[in-house]
């Protein structure tokens, strides 16, 4: 293996070796590389044939640059790009043919991936122009702000990859990963800067927009004052999250609040939220999702109290996130990290024997066993756990919604458990930059001093800080808007993309039924103003 790798490194530095080998030997062979677009390549000619008549009759639209990296995003972007072309937009699909964001590949393999990607997208012409970021000439100098962006995003990339917040620059493996991300993000920033500055698209469309090269291309676009739209997916099929001129992973819902949260919540809206919450409480899937938010159904408040050995002292519920989740990156306010927040919080409560602290480790840790567990963070902070502090592990058979029911106070970083605790009328101290912070139903400290002062004040008189009827209604109203209006209809999620494409083939998407359902979303993806259907 080492000899093969060394040989490919040597061949990769020689002109035309990868191209000749591709033409003579590799092009028509089944690909063994993880970066595989064979299925896309086989499907695109028929897809282009479907879209072409719509594109020819559509009114001219916007000049769209669509950036995608990693083979699964690239597959989906080809079909979304085709759809936008069919609606009249002039689309350039700019791909970065990487499969491993955290590993260096030899030049020979990488050059052949460029050729494979080019072949896979060849059928898109003339509806879509395709280019590889790796073929672009990078700018020689980056503005200082973009250089700072590269460092910030590269650190997030390392945290995301390692699934922990601590990146030890004195550790050889951590440093190598960070340096690789600096190298790749710097190149992407320079190439994107030159391309965007020269070609000046009307809008840049980017998945995620927070981490990896997707994050840096977004930052470059905004630095150049070019509109940028980012998108991601929740657990529901046929839905998309999207954001205009912000990263979707930051979940900026200000526009939603301004446009919708002043409207009253009706009984049917309330019932719909309650139905969702009851499904989660009952450990059942809901809607068009296969995700279980809990792995054990509700056992009831009394049974849970008995299981945990809780007494009559007030209960403070601290709900943790999964470390390294991109929904937590860049969300710090007064704490340097969620780890620091939890560490200092449990040390504070170690001295508060007048209350009971229950720490709910996120059940999602079960799905990412490589992540540093928040249970480890607690044990590091308090090697000898006091009897009034209880840690509920990811695999423990305790339902989070039972904990919400028995909690007198909630503490949250970015998890929606904070929102759901407020919906239960309990005071919630919001400690990270979460989407529901500052909406009128949470307590929002901005410094450590404010945080400790808020804790002292609430603990001194818990009944006085229970949410009133108006605040609780605000929480329910916001929950409805976030769960049911923030996601928009969309035919193909990233996960199980090919299965979704069978349900919503392009013919059906361009039918009257498909356009009635998805046309607004396609418009929002090219930065048309958000509108709302009653």
Domain ranges of the chain: 37-253+488-525, 259-485
| Rounded Cα distance, 167 and 400, in Å | 30
Residue ranges in the chain whose pLDDT is less than 50: 1-3
Alpha helix stretches (DSSP H) within 225-373:
254-260, 267-281, 301-308, 338-350
User: Cα angle at 35 between 100 and 96, to 5 degrees?
Assistant: 65
Report which secondary-structure segment, H or E, holds 2.
helix 2-12
Dmax over CA atoms of the chain, in Å, equals 78
| Rounded Cα distance, 475 and 482, in Å | 10
DSSP 530: P
Closest CA to 330 of 228, 167, 451, 210: 210
| Rounded Cα distance, 392 and 345, in Å | 16
Closest CA to 372 of 159, 113, 132: 159
CA 420 to chain centre: 20
How far is the CA of 50 from the CAs of 109, 124, 133, 278, 507, in angstroms?
33, 12, 28, 43, 7
**Contact, 415 vs 430, CB < 8 A?**
no
DSSP E strands, 169-297: 203-207, 227-232, 239-244
**Contact, 123 vs 45, CB < 8 A?**
yes
Closest CA to 314 of 164, 209, 192, 427: 427
Q: What is the reported pLDDT for 403?
A: 97
Domain 259-485 coded CATH 3.40.50.300: no
Closest CA to 11 of 82, 93, 108, 149: 108
Q: What is the reported pLDDT for 516?
A: 96
A 10 A CB-CB count for 31 gives 13
pLDDT digits (tens, 9 = 90+) for 137-184: 887 889 999 999 999 999 999 999 998 889 999 999 999 999 999 999
Closest CA to 405 of 358, 336, 464, 438: 358
Q: Chain-wide mean pLDDT for the chain?
A: 93
| Rounded Cα distance, 171 and 324, in Å | 18
| Rounded Cα distance, 530 and 524, in Å | 6
């Amino acid at each position: 293996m080492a000899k093969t790798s060394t040989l490919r490194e040597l061949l990769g530095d020689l002109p035309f070796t990868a191209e000749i080998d591709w033409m003579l030997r590799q092009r028509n062979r089944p690909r063994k590389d993880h970066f595989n677009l064979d299925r896309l390549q086989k499907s695109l000619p028929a897809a282009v044939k479907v879209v072409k008549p719509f594109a020819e009759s559509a009114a001219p639209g916007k000049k769209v640059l669509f950036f995608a990296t990693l083979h699964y995003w690239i597959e989906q972007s080809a079909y979304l790009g085709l759809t936008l072309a069919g609606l009249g937009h002039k689309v350039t699909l700019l791909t970065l043919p990487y499969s491993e964001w955290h590993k260096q590949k030899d030049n020979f393999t990488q050059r052949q991936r460029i050729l494979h990607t080019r072949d896979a997208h060849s059928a898109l012409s003339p509806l879509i122009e395709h280019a590889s970021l790796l073929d672009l000439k990078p700018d020689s100098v980056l503005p200082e702000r973009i250089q700072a962006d590269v460092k910030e995003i590269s650190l997030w990339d390392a945290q995301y990859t390692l699934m922990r917040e601590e990146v030890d620059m004195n550790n050889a493996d951590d440093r190598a990963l960070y340096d690789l991300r600096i190298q790749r993000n710097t190149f992407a920033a320079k190439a994107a800067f030159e391309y965007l500055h020269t070609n000046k698209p009307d809008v840049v469309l980017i998945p995620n927009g927070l981490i990896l090269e997707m994050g840096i291309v977004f930052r470059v676009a905004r630095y150049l004052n070019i509109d940028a739209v980012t998108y991601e997916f929740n657990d529901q099929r046929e839905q998309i999250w999207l954001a205009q001129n912000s990263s979707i992973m930051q979940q900026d819902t200000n526009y939603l609040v301004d446009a919708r949260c002043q409207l009253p919540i009706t009984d049917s809206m309330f019932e719909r939220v309650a139905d969702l919450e009851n499904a989660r409480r009952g450990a059942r899937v809901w809607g068009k999702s296969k995700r279980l938010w809990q792995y054990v159904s509700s056992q009831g408040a009394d049974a849970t109290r008995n299981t945990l050995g809780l007494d009559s002292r007030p209960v403070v519920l601290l709900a943790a996130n999964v470390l390294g989740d991109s929904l937590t990156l860049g969300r710090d306010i007064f704490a340097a990290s969620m780890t620091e927040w939890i560490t200092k919080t449990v040390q504070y409560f170690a001295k508060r024997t007048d209350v009971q602290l229950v720490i709910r480790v996120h059940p999602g840790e079960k799905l990412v066993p490589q992540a540093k567990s928040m249970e480890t963070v607690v044990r590091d902070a308090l090697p000898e756990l006091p009897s009034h502090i209880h840690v509920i592990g990811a695999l423990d058979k305790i339902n989070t919604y039972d904990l919400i029911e028995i909690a007198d106070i909630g503490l949250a970083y970015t998890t929606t458990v904070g929102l759901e605790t407020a919906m239960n009328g309990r005071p919630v101290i919001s400690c990270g930059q979460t989407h529901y912070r500052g909406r009128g139903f949470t307590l929002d400290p901005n410094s450590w001093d404010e945080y400790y002062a808020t804790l002292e004040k609430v603990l001194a008189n818990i009944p006085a800080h229970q949410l009133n009827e108006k605040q609780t209604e605000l929480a329910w109203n916001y929950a409805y808007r976030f769960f049911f209006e923030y996601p928009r209809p969309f035919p193909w999620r990233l996960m199980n993309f090919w299965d979704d494409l069978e349900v919503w083939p392009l013919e059906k998407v361009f039918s009257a039924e498909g356009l009635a359902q998805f046309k607004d979303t396609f418009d929002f993806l090219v930065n048309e103003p958000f509108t709302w259907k009653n």
